[in-house]
Amino acid sequence: MFRQKGGSLLVQVDGTILSRLNTLDDLLPQLPGAIKGRSGGIEIFGKGSPIIYIDNRPIRSKSELTRLVPSEIKEIELITSPGPEYNAAGRAVLKITTIHKNDGISLLTKTYLKRSDRLSGGQSAVLGYQYHGLSISGSLSYDYNNGKLTQPASTELAASHDLHRYDKDQWGKTRTPALDYQVSADYAINDKKSFGLSWDGKQYTNKEHRNGTLSYSVNNNPINSATIDNHYRNRINYQHLNTFCNW
């Protein structure tokens, strides 16, 4: 499953237990020296976030990783000291080689549900077309994360035989729907030469309804209190157009 190749480590995925994992997020932390960072992305110990290649082409968007499943991967090469051709500037390189696909149309759909305080989930679909060196794909995903907020806080101060108490309690609900989309086309002349373009975008909305109470008491006798009602909404909408040429 693991073997050295010069100064790099090759990890065989196809035909091993790694190919049975559900997502690439499950697979990458299994690599020696790989860990999940605080943001949830993959990091290489001592090297930070790696530069990732798929079939000798550097990825332009993280959405390219979500379209891959372990059963489609042949092997992964981890290069901790890449040469100048990678322009890695001290970072590691992950090279993912996929299994050669037959010409034709492919469709991959996913649905997931998770529950903490509230139910969250998402759906995605990836449509692809392969003909010799030409590869065209499009993806669309929708995720919704629902959360619950509870933040009680209190401060007590003893002064002049009196006990002063300040209470600040907050509670509320959050909802974060996100829509991701991507279209790409590339043409591989051979294993080392390819070119193409991709267009991706995201619509992200953060909604929060938060209530709070502020109260002040002396020796457990209420002196003052107030109620705060907040509604927060932030929307982000962006698009990227990327071109590449590996020659």
Q: How many CA atoms lie within 13 A of 105 on its CB side?
A: 3
pLDDT digits (tens, 9 = 90+) for 101-150: 668 888 888 888 888 778 889 998 988 888 888 889 899 999 988 888 88
For residues 162 and 143, is the Cβ–Cβ distance under 8 A? no
**d(C-alpha 30, C-alpha 26), whole Å:** 7
**d(C-alpha 124, C-alpha 161), whole Å:** 63
pLDDT digits (tens, 9 = 90+) for 23-73: 888 899 999 889 888 777 889 988 889 999 888 878 877 767 877 889 989
* Angle in degrees, CA 203, 204, 205, rounded to 5: 125
